[in-house]
Structure 1
């Protein structure tokens, strides 16, 4: 069943609104409104998946929901009702069942009101059920839609970061700081890191409530002149274990330890004025205990980075996207072990021991959002295990005094010194928040200060530092590398970044056009090879496309490393306002093993036997550029003609018409000019196409002379030698691929929404531009082959992408396309199928190809013609056809592997024959003349 759209969901949820009271049926109706399968909802309703201990009032379904009915006949005031619901849903959020079932939402309802928490984003809602339509966006993940795509929530983190930005600007202005030196930047970095700690500490019972803000408000002058001295004194007190000699107002601040307030970090607290003092106090009134360290760290960085303020909150990785790396990498397996150990004290204790030994390492950690989420997830699982142990063996409760999940088992590398400090602080805040949860559940709180450890974050260039020195490991250690390393295409890399790649590859020659993220994948593969370690990185999806896939994965696979799981292309976005969106994949690597492999696509998990470089369940091969087709029956496909003319050889239809009104005999020099956009959208353009023989005569005509002169002037300014040389023949395109024959045009870019790339035939008077590909003298059977589901599956897998749109390539896609030998009868059948498609398109000639191939508007006749063609092409590869593109890809890669092996064998055979001839005659054999298809 196709996924629901947003409008349909809104309408379905609105139909549930308006009632004053709604029983348990609300849960089931709500799940159905979001498109959950009826069979799944029925199982939940009848109790086969609900909570066995309390089947009448609680329901739990794995990955979906944990629901509790707390209805009562007793009359309640609005305040009491809200408090009761909030307590209930908070209890559900940390309940071991919620962890055990990995429920996305926990919900408590009393039939009139509903309280809910999204366990992945920690967002919550409480509202009257009659107003449920106002909150339909909140539950969108049930329909496979992350809310970040539709709603930008304004969190405490954003408010705090914005306030911090105002204070930063005020201090820079008041201190005449230029931020041009490392010392100036470092000094402000240290100050703001310490400031954040103080705000959080006074709001979470580490300091007396409001101690820091009250000290500023009550002990400093309103003009701010003595604020710097008071803050300096407080920071010094926080680094002093013996406070007996300190003034009374400083003795309430505890000894923090760690390097956070170390006097060794020599710097001066900035000077304050009235405005900055007021901002300092205003910030203290925010609710700092509500900040999310996984989000705030990235926004905090933006505060102090020039040019980033307008992008506040855009570039952190959202929690659901982080979970796409860590859940399949290790959390799912740990939760499965929890499920298997649920009734055994001994097995649960072993699982605790395992969790206590795990190390997590982010070699591009930024402000540690990946590490923070991984730490929190492990702590929550630990709490669930302890909860279950207490239920099985009450005496265990007395042993719960500290966490087995140690903060110093979390490692990171970050090149920016400020981000390094923020990362350390973010981990510390995460630890304190989880200790608070520990206290709520078990009545004791692990000690936080004096600080014993604040994580293992190293400030260094990850490309140039030895990862083994940052995170030492033995082969048997359970270590997980996670993160979102930087991705920059070759044209975007600085000189230093290119040198980074040279260092990582340790080669005199490395592939030129590789992404910067390759360094992390290669170093990560070397780190985990022959060990028990695994990694999962979020990456731009370009690394699995075109020749990039071969450049990246060939050296990785040679290390004995395989892809353990992969998330295919999805849009990475977050809950920030104006959030950034980029198309990414998640790739997990591990030493070769017999463990299961999985491919995740739009939230659906499928088992795979092998995951290749293109994230397909198919033989582990990579494609290289080819100058000719692998299947010798396929004619050459070339890129169209490239003008490089400054636009002066291209003619608007009205200019052509105007000129030919006065001299119609020259119409033969005006040809139709078509690229991808013109062909798909039926747009008319023309170009001048002049032979060298005619150029001299035409230059005497003002229209042509003016055009040729402008082309020459434009080309002479080019930095490319080839273009400058082409200035001597300004009447011609720089690259002339055109032939005066019929041709098939293949657009170079096409929308991902289309089931087929709209290809077609063109007449001899049309020049195909360099923004499309051309096959000249092509037979119709080739059109049938290329416009099939089979070829589309190949394009989707191995072709490039422009964001998520298809980007065609003749050297990668077409020339590597594996095709069985086509007999004449098969070619005739293909020809008839092609002509049928073209006839239907001609019947709808008033429509553009963009309209005809819009999946929402495609005529039924055209769908039927393509379906018949698809069935025919499928039968060429397998008589029984295929059920899915996954099956098609498996067959295509298998055939490709076979054809490449045969080609290599033939080349070796020819080489041996040449050697034999030379040995027998003493002469080289004559080379065979090449023929053109």
Structure 2
């Protein structure tokens, strides 16, 4: 259940007759108490209350019903009870069905209110649902209430009009909801006469809502007609003002109403809509028409701090600096006038705009700065106003959005933002432009951003130097070379394995048939489209995106294409945790990257969240360095590093694999099977200490294997599994059903390297195995490797490299022999240096061995890592880093900057060969 639904259900609860015996159970149910717990509380097995009627759930709530007029006194009594002190409930709650007194013992906050107002305090009790009040979606409670009412209204409309759930009706439903929203907001902000909308639908809509369909059609139609052209319409309809702006331009169907839909609409209209936040509220109502999104209703938005990380370095900081510089200049008035002209020429384009968060914040920030400039000019003119209204027009804000309702919501949210900024203008200067008729709104196109031509959605301005496209004569945007266009947004991520077929097709088209699209994240499409747009438009772009665009093989996919268009990275914010409240985003790491045309003077900055560095150039890995990227290699670029191979792949349907119990039982029943059973080890077995075994049968052992019935049966099942496979390669292995499909094993010692490593471990964690252990294809193996190779793999240098060039999985890296290992630039080592690294490898193994029974996961967990092991790694780092530069590196950033320089030197000949091929 989401927060908005909690508020709705509390509203329903207080409308019902108060039942002292049942009330508290319904309250806890609304706040997601487990059914099993409620059953135990009812039976008394978990209820620690001191007297009949009490409910005391340890660490949660102590509820006590009370006699009329005794609510506050009862709450005071609950504080001092022995049961309260021993069971430590978070809340004390007393009620007589008319009044409520409650105390949060953690925050020492007390509330007294009428029972009917319980839903107004829904957020107070959110800890009962496991949501701390300070994280309760930093949104305004008005947003949550409003969203809840709209969700309820939407659901009743589609329940009563089931045909409105079809694709054919979706646009009409979305437009209808948007218009209803506008009417409620306009009524509460004084744009309509006081209570005009709610009064009209109440008095003229019919007691059962039977007239609302025709009434709303009349109201929506009349708001698109100027007063002078309305002719004969009922007075109660004529009272609605001419709105214009396109919101009511399209004639659209209206759904039918029943009594319940009418009541819910009236309840929603009676809320106070003035204080809603359009940047948050827009994203919340997006979820209304997508019930599968409601579990995180209110969570699907980019937070304002993250939006500002994009807008500030892209253009806001420059504007602020220009404003500050004007103050210091003797021609301040002239400078401020030029700044106003610049602000008026700025266009903002979000090609994945959702409900308009980026556009709304950009609009708000530009209006705020403009008002500060106006205020300063007024001061210079000794109180005389030389300006009229704003020159920041909604028509300078563009977007593309796939979801129809989100696109409609974005337009509405921009209008709401304009109204709110006009009110701020009025507060500052005493007057504001009239609310109606609306001017042209934001230009939001509903469509697929990866298939649309962006120059159609946000056309180049006439005479823009970079423009090569023919510009239609009717485009009346700012038409001089000083127009600034900024592309912003937070495009959808979708990793390669989570993409729909249509999304795969989008990327395949963009990649012009090159196969690398198959492993690309969906967000890369926006980078490629933005690069195409910048080829014909003088613009810059900056996106919030997952750090996959600056890590792993995808770096080559995207940045090679952008650099070929003569683009460069202008600024970057390195990896940071996603900061909105959505539960599934807890482990998401993002970066922000700004891109511009190469050339000209620009100060390039890298922000790591703590410090900001000015650098000469920003590499695709978001460090200072050249525009190079590590490309997959078939062999190590460092000649002294031996070959790394992927382990053995069974492709057997699980029939050649054995649990410890199965292996033990097989050997107990058939002693001859012992030499056919080998220990099996992949990433999970190595890092978590799990044990698995396998049948490892050589050609010479085939007859022996077939003489053991359970093994013969398993071999036959493997043959059947492979024969039935749709993959021809798997079918081919049916001829050797007793063997793993792909084998690389050697009966010699090996180093095992996990394919998956979490960020928390801080190191790549290889291990030594004897020749009897079979490494699976879920790990890598290096056979007959010297210990110094183990040391290099264990180093902080290699960990930093692997974290940067490897692909990602949820909370760590997906190690690859071709990209993580073969590209690692290890220096040429002397015999003395190799011997020193050999000794340090054994020191790490010795430190691990001091903790028998402990897993690699435990040994390298930051909370449990033994000091001796950490010291062994530090000694290794100190020795190896002195080999590289004569001293330890200061940070991972310095490590990476040096490694990439070395990589460029070591691969220079290979790059030349490729260029001449």
- How far has the Cα of 1:900 moved from its partner? 0.8
Cα gap change, 1:236/1:201 in structure 2, threshold over 3 Å: closer, same or farther?
Answer: same
| Deviations, residues 834-878 of structure 1 (Å, cap 9, x unaligned) | 111111111223422222211122222212211110011111211
Pair 1:830–1:279, CA change in 2 (3 A): same
Give the SS at the match of 2:759: coil
- Taking structure 1 as reference, are residues 266 and 526 closer, same or farther at Cα in structure 2, changes over 3 Å only? same
The match for 1:551 is: 557
How many residues are matched? 769
> 1:806 aligned to 2:813?
yes
Separation in structure 2 between the aligned mates of residue 153 and residue 562 of structure 1, nearest angstrom: 36
The 5 A counterparts of 1:401-800 are 401-471=388-458, 472-473=460-461, 474-475=464-465, 476=481, 477-506=483-512, 511-529=517-535, 532-575=538-581, 582-593=588-599, 594-800=601-807
**2:287·2:294 contact (CA, 8 Å) conserved in 1?**
yes
Q: C-alpha separation between the residues in 2 aligned to 1:579 and 1:851?
A: 26
**Structure 1 match to 2:198:** 213
Q: Structure 1 regions of 5+ residues with no counterpart?
A: 1-126, 139-145, 912-933
SS of structure 2 residue aligned to 1:382: helix
| C-alpha distance in 2 between matches for 1:435 and 1:856 | 53
1:892 & 1:598 partners in 2: Cα distance? 21
Worse-superposed segment, 369-378 or 154-163: 154-163
Q: Give unmatched runs, 5+ long, in structure 2.
A: 1-102, 111-122, 124-130, 466-480
The residue number in structure 1 matching 2:156 is 170
Instruction: State the alpha-carbon separation in 2 of the partners of residues 229 and 735 from structure 1.
Output: 71
CA deviation after TM superposition for structure 1 residue 261, in Å: 1.4
Q: Distance in 2 between matches of 1:220 and 1:569?
A: 54
Match of residue 828 from structure 2: 821
SS in 1 for 2:628: coil
8 Å contact kept, 2:510–2:525: yes
Question: Using the alignment, how far apart are the partners of 2:625 and 2:185 within structure 1?
Answer: 51
Q: Write the distance in 2 (CA, Å) between the matches of 1:777 and 1:207.
A: 82
Q: Is the 8 A contact 2:378 2:386 kept in 1?
A: no
| Aligned-pair CA distance for 1:259 | 1.5
Choose which of 313, 316, 331 in structure 1 pairs with 2:316.
Answer: 331
User: For residue 871 of structure 1, what is the aligned residue in structure 2?
Assistant: 878
Task: Find the counterpart in structure 2 of residue 270 from structure 1.
Answer: 255
SS across alignment from 1:610? coil
> Which residue pairs with 2:375 in the alignment?
387
CA–CA separation in structure 1 for the residues paired with 2:486 and 2:153: 38
CA separation of 1:405 and 1:812: change in aligned 2, threshold 3 A: same
Query: Which residue, out of 200, 219, 224, partners 1:239?
Result: 224
Q: Tell me if the contact between 1:156 and 1:287 (Cα under 8 Å) persists in the aligned partners.
A: yes
Query: Following the alignment from structure 2 to structure 1, what is the Cα–Cα distance between the partners of residues 886 and 275?
Result: 61
Q: 8 Å contact 1:530–1:591 — kept in the other structure? A: no
- Cα distance in 1 for partners of 2:914, 2:351 equals 44
Q: Alpha-carbon deviation of 1:149?
A: 10
* Structure 1 residues 854 and 149: CA distance shift in structure 2, 3 A: farther
CA contact (8 A) 1:148 1:575 kept: no
Q: Quote how far apart the aligned CAs of 1:503 are.
A: 4.0
Deviates more, 1:593-602 or 1:448-457: 593-602
Check if 1:313 corresponds to 2:320: no
Looking at structure 1, the residues matched to 898 and 779 of structure 2 have their Cα atoms a distance apart, in angstroms, of 28
Taking the aligned partners of 2:514 and 2:792, their CA distance within structure 1 comes to 42
Report the secondary structure of 1:635's partner residue: coil
Structure 1 residues 720 and 158 mapped into 2: Cα distance closer, same or farther (>3 Å)? farther
Contact 1:408 1:455 in 2 (8 A): yes
The 1:195/1:133 distance shift into structure 2, 3 A limit, reads: closer
Please point out which of 322, 346, 360 is paired with 2:348: 360
String of CA shifts for 1:39-98, please: whole Å, max 9, x gaps: xxxxxxxxxxxxxxxxxxxxxxxxxxxxxxxxxxxxxxxxxxxxxxxxxxxxxxxxxxxx
TM-score, normalised via structure 1 length: 0.78
Q: Give the equivalent residue in structure 2 for 1:203.
A: 188
1:314–1:579 Cα contact (<8 Å) kept: no
Partner deviation per Cα, 1:435-463 (whole Å, 9 max, x = no partner): 11111111111233111211122233323
TM-score, normalized by length of structure 2?
A: 0.79
Over 3 Å counting, the alpha-carbon distance change for 1:527 and 1:657 in structure 2 is same
> Using the alignment, how far apart are the partners of 2:287 and 2:853 within structure 1?
52
Alignment of 1:4-403 (within 5 A): 150-153=135-138, 155-182=141-168, 184-242=169-227, 243=230, 245-262=232-249, 265-305=250-290, 307-343=292-328, 344-396=332-384, 398-403=385-390
CA distance in 2, matches of 1:648, 1:423: 55
CA offsets, 1:376-417, max 9 Å, x none?
Answer: 111122223333333444334x23431121111111122333
Q: How many Å separate the matches in 1 of 2:673 and 2:451?
A: 64
